[in-house]
Structure 1
Amino acid sequence: MNSTPEKKTQPKLFPSIIERLSTLQYSKRTEESYIQWIKRFITFHGKRHPRDMGIAEIETYLNHLAEEKKVSASTQSQAKSALLFLYKQVLARELPVMENLVKLKASKTLPVTLTKHEVQVILSNLNGSMWLIASLLYGSGLRVMECLRLRVADIDFAKLEIFVRDTEGYKNRITLLPASLVEPLKAHLVEVQSLHEEDLAKGFGETRMPTGLARKYPESGKEWAWQYAFPSSRLSVTQQTGTIFRHHADEKTVQRAVKKVVKQAGIKKLVTPNTFRHSFATHLLQGGQDIRTVQALLGHADVSTTMIYTQVVNIGGRGVASPLDVI
């Protein structure tokens, strides 16, 4: 009796990608970004399976982004990281060095910063959680996603400290919590806790946890300490398991709120939520704070990254007063 050899079925690509991203504890934002880049790569090459492609197709696509799409260096780098992840972590293939890649150089533009008066104007026109988020961005030097990912346990009111967790390859760090935000933040968390208790009463109340902690402490996602300080207004469903959980607020909501207020205030600068972080660093340096301290608060691995803010401080005659202004 003849028997045909059993054909091995390959696991579906995108579920495998999502599972691997989750196992390695990549953030939800990075997960979404990587999946989009991989989809674009596949579409660009006529929907061929990545298994049937390799370094030549990757270089062709990345060069297309640089030469035809005119993307920034950071965008090309992000696409490259997504494709390298696909081949190394999902398809288990080691790729040779990209010798034909048109590598873009990052432009060294100075960050946009606000004056103290402009910060006051913007904050005075924000309300509720949007005011609190923007105040933390400026008062603690947080990136917008760092602020939105804050857990209740990350806030130490007694020490006036905020613990910033490693989510995108940066090291964990501690930054300051402005004393003026203690009472408003406590009042905000009372409302958040009430929402959490309502979720628990309905059989929900779980938040997304890093994979390692979720396996070690299966019930930790429902504990108050692990809830996001700025939760989403709606519940979400995990694609892999169907678990219903409450994620953190969407950064686009913050971006829209800041953009609206900046326009209303007539401020002619390209202001984003992260502009508050740039202003935090600049104003500390202007106040005479040591650059190493600012580096630690910002979480920069190298002080050269922090040094860019000294250029902002020195704008206008390198920080020197004109003799005409002091006579």
Structure 2
Amino acid sequence: MNRWWADDVLSGVKPIHWISAVAAAVLLLTAVVLVPGTVEEPAPPVPASCPQRWESNEIGRWVPAPADLDGVEDSLVPGTPTSALICAYPGQNSNPGRESLAGSRTLTDQAKSMAYDLGYLPVTTERIEKVCTLIGGQVTNYLIRFAYPDGQALWVGSAEEINSCVTTTNGTVASDSYIGPSITAAYRTGTWKLLQPKDPCDPTTGRRGQNEQMVPDGAIKVLVCREVSSGNSTPRPSHGPEHGEQQARELAAELNSLDAEPGGNTCREVGGGQREMLYLHFGYEEGPSAWVRINPGCRPSVNNGVLVGDLNDALLAQMDRLAPPA
């Protein structure tokens, strides 16, 4: 008798049938390999329904709940959502709050580009003081629910309003860049496009990072516009409509060296004489431009919509070289 087998019998342990064990292992491995192929991919998340009312007295600047997503502290819409549900709440700016839901539209193939543009807007956690006109008229508040492939979602609240004085928020950070007409166009047509000013000298929506620097890094060109008290704004570059990368980066460095702090479009007039302003538009290889406004007759005299600072002689001399006074 085989001693190994005899010892097992005497100890009460049943002998192992190795052929059966190997076959079972092969079957188990086969099952493990086959299982993933039989699991269906999860269906894309379906956007939740719109709230029946706009539950805030503010124009824009409200969402049903802030999202717990990576990146919401740095961008209005982080990541790449798969759909965007737009909910519309029309009313009057003289009596804001509790507007009823008027309709909705879902964007799918347009959601990525919409998120890209909104994600590039300059944001802040500060409540920026700003001056607005007070024309009475219609307002339409909007909620936009961005849905992500993993089932998560994020709300953005904004509005279109006759005074263009709106704050857009995701519940964590906010932007004073005005995008109301672009949202209205997307709601009506189903196509998203971030509308740009017709005049290249008019302020744009700005660029992410302007809450940290007057001009975010990476500018490759700059357009300098001088606006006189008559209201006419005309590009006045010394060589063509735009200056190149060297001038753009030198000017950006000078602006970023200012002692800046959070602030909006308010200022205190100083001095007298003819009033004029300078608008600087910094272009980049990718994404929107960053704008800076310089008003020598005001304090603070420099602002980018999120930060403010004061003009110095070196910066003023640089402006005069790039856009000589008329």
Q: Is TM-score (shorter-chain normalized) higher than 0.5?
A: no
Ranked by relative contact order (alpha carbons within 8 Å, sequence separation 6 or more), the top structure is: 1
TM-score (norm 1): 0.22
More strand by share: 2
More helix by share: 1
Structure with larger Rg: 2
